[in-house]
Amino acid sequence: MFSLPLTTSERILKKAQEGHYAVGAFNAENMEMVQAIVSAAEELNAPVIIQTTPGTIRYASLGLYLANVKAAAETAKVPVVMHLDHGNSFSLAMKALRAGYTSIMIDGSKEVFDKNAALTKSVVDACKPSNIPVEGELGRVGGKEDDAESSGTGYTDPDEAVEFVKRTGVSSLAVGVGTAHGIYASTPVLNTKLVGILRGKIDVPMVLHGASGLSDDAVRECIRQGICKVNFATELRIAYTKAVQKYLAENLDTIDPKKFGAAAREAVKKLVMERTKVLGCDGKA
């Protein structure tokens, strides 16, 4: 069973699905980003998901990131989830489960359908005794984010989605509808109608990856069609880094990391608040 003060993604995503809004899932790279995300959620009284990728975990460890999030969640008055983003192996998923993550993604989308379904089901079955929900992915999200890389964007087939959910028992499903990880070179063309078709066929909450850089209107339309969780990573990194660069350029003699860390933390908080309002989950905690 998951340990307090963290909650599970299944709990808050089911409420989002019923309320026709989405929960923000924000990637954190360090303590300041964790603080910023939780502070933004608290100020807006919104549930929030904090997530780490395999690349981020290699930089530090599952335990260090989890400890940061748990510490921040202990004094928070809103639901906070610790999620493994783009888990790339059964082994890593199990390490995150044992560490205390309260939500696990296993990304087998690069595999053929049967292999993806088998891998995903193995993680679902292993997490079930602990009541930890699992996010799967069907259809590819293009671009690159840490270890998650794809040369093209593959749309999720509705009939395959039905079979995938039935075969695996996933709690949520990341779908391919035209988004990509990283920075968009041009405005993406999203197949928002596909989101609505998928919503009519599957009952589990759907997840939109690669939302950094999407317009507010595009995000809102995806939510209107049925998306319940929206992932943001790249734009948080950009906000953080630009704030550090700006602070150091204006304060050349700075040697205290807390100074530019605080500036970066504030920039990330501002962005998370803006995105949370777009998702419509402010006031939903």
Question: Catalytic positions, please?
Answer: 85
CB neighbour class for 204 (10 Å; exposed up to 12, middle 13-18, buried from 19): buried
Q: Is residue 249 a contact partner of residue 19, using CB atoms and an 8 Å limit?
A: no
Single-letter code of the amino acid located at 56 = T
- Total number of residues shown for the chain: 285
